[in-house]
A and B are shown apart, each in its own frame.
Chain A
Amino acid sequence: MGLESRLPEFVTTRLDWVVNTARRYAVWPMPFATACCGIEFMAAASSRYDLSRFGSEIMRFSPRQADLLLVAGRVCLKEAPVLMKIYRQMAEPKWVMAVGACASTGGMLDVYGVVQGIDKLLPVDVYVPGCPPRPEAIIDGFMKIHKIIGGERIADRKHGD
């Protein structure tokens, strides 16, 4: 990643803007939907709320092709290594959104077998509260992801993670 540090500031800012805009309008989610929040996510992607307006219509179920890991629903103890594996298989740049109370903090499932929030496992970018969150809240989460992407620089991401 050496070239960006040698180019003048003006060029890299323009390049960042172009790349970030392209990434913002083509966020491909990978739905890791385990429970009820997955249904709300499906509602957000269907006709009335329509996530595809923002380009997130293509949901790739293969982590290698997705940008955004959407964890919707509780993550059990037995599932935690699986989630880690999926996160590692994703290509940089990648973001994580925890949808719902169970993914954010464990929610109402304060029990022995549920991970109390996926941020104990992975770095999370956006938390969407709710049990389950309304589709408008999930779309608001997407808007926040767009804002985070807009503020990044190319040099922020290391390849080979």
Chain B
Amino acid sequence: MFKDAESVKEKFPAGFLAYEEFRNQPTIIVKPEAVFEVLRFLKDDPSAGYDLLVDVTAVDHGAGLSDNRFSVVYHLCRTAEGKRLRLKAFLNADKPVIESVVPLWLAANWAEREAYDLMGITFRNHPDLRRIMLPDSFEHHPLRKDYPVEGRGERDSFIKYNPDDGL
């Protein structure tokens, strides 16, 4: 097993769920409640020492699922050697809420806003959780599996040019 995965399993026996490896890409699966502590350990521990958060993203595994519908995926990198790690946490459909990692890495700010905007995952304690790519008045979370690609008419509703407006 990957060395860092072993140390996570030792330190957090309750939160650690599984370890997978595919083509030399290690993935650790943890419980959502333990994500913040595990990431803090991975960042601060000198043997792990992941100083770069590459991305925070989310996956929707199917509209019909109610348990483990969403997963939040963190990609970490240790810049001194270039070793990379993926961390996953599964969330349920009725309450997709997870702790924000902005206190650890500031790079998570916009990445978590994107996950909120497009997938609807709420990040607790995020300093500024609002939509980043879509207009603030947009009502749904488009990248979920039950949302049609063409949208539900939002792309046609905006103010059109009227030359007699007087503006």
Residues of A bordering B, CB below 8 Å: 76-78, 80-81, 84, 87-88, 110-116, 120-123, 158, 161
User: What 14 new A-B contacts, CB under 8 Å, besides A77-B155, A121-B158?
Assistant: A80-B158, A81-B158, A81-B159, A87-B161, A110-B150, A112-B142, A112-B150, A112-B155, A113-B134, A113-B155, A114-B155, A115-B155, A120-B156, A121-B160
Interface of B is mostly: loop
B127 at the interface (CB under 8 A from A): no
Interface size on B, residues (CB 8 A): 20
Instruction: Output the nearest chain B residue to A113 by Cβ-Cβ distance.
Output: B134
What residues of chain B lie closer than 8 Å to A84, measured between beta carbons? 159, 161
Whether, in the assembled complex, B133 has its beta carbon less than 8 Å from a beta carbon of chain A, the answer is yes
Neighbouring A residues of B163 by C-beta, 8 Å? 158, 161
Q: Which residues on the B side are within 8 Å of A123 (C-beta)?
A: 161
Q: Which residues from chain A contact B134 at a C-beta distance below 8 Å? A: 77-78, 113
Query: Is A111 within 8 A of B149, CB to CB?
Result: yes
- What is the bound-complex CA distance between A139 and B161, given in angstroms? 27
Question: Considering the chains assembled together, what is the distance between the CA atoms of A112 and B138 in angstroms?
Answer: 10
